[in-house]
Amino acid sequence: MGERIRRRRAELGMTQHDLAQMLDISYQQVQKYETGANRVSAGRLFAMSQRLGCNIAYFFDGLETAPPADVIEHGAANRTTIELARNFSRLPSGNVKGAISTLVRALADGDELAMEEARREMVG
């Protein structure tokens, strides 16, 4: 995204300062957008497309679509996940955390061998 912003700005012979003034932001913010240090909101991207004289689709042409992320469902399943993460973060670092992480992954994958190895790590 940032590369497309930079390319379009350069095509028009604009500096980062010029674009920043048009958007009423600092040139450092434009720099952060262009380097990818900061994400560009939909509203800001729309404003940029208007100031840069291009369709908003310009910024997306040729980009590959990412596979959909795993969705965390609402309700009790989500509460359980949050509670698990909260309690896990309270554990002391070390072998127990690693073993529990391995066990959960093994359970999710149905990997009996990894489950047994994780059990042995937790027991001692």
CB atoms within 10 A of CB 4: 19
68: in domain: no
Structure confidence by residue, pLDDT tens digits, 14-72:
999 999 999 999 999 999 999 988 999 999 999 999 999 999 999 888 777 766 655 55
Q: What is the pLDDT of residue 85?
A: 78
Q: What is the pLDDT of residue 61?
A: 84
CATH of the domain at 18: 1.10.260.40
45: containing domain: 2-59
Residues 97 and 54 in one domain: no
Interacting residues of 8 by C-beta distance below 8 A, sequence separation 6+: 52, 54, 58
Beta strands in 22-72 (DSSP E): none
Backbone angles phi, psi at 62, to 5 degrees: 85, -5
Say whether pLDDT at 123 is over 80: no
111: in domain: yes
Q: Which of 14, 42, 59 is the last residue of a domain?
A: 59
74: in domain: no
Domain count, the chain: 2
**Is the distance from CB of 110 to CB of 103 less than 8 angstroms?**
no
User: Tokens for 15?
Assistant: 């500096």
Say whether pLDDT at 76 is over 60: no
69: in domain: no
DSSP 8-state assignment for residue 24: T
Interacting residues of 14 by C-beta distance below 8 A, sequence separation 6+: 52
**Is the distance from CB of 26 to CB of 16 less than 8 angstroms?**
no
Residues 18 and 55 in one domain: yes
47: in domain: yes
Residues 10 and 52 in one domain: yes
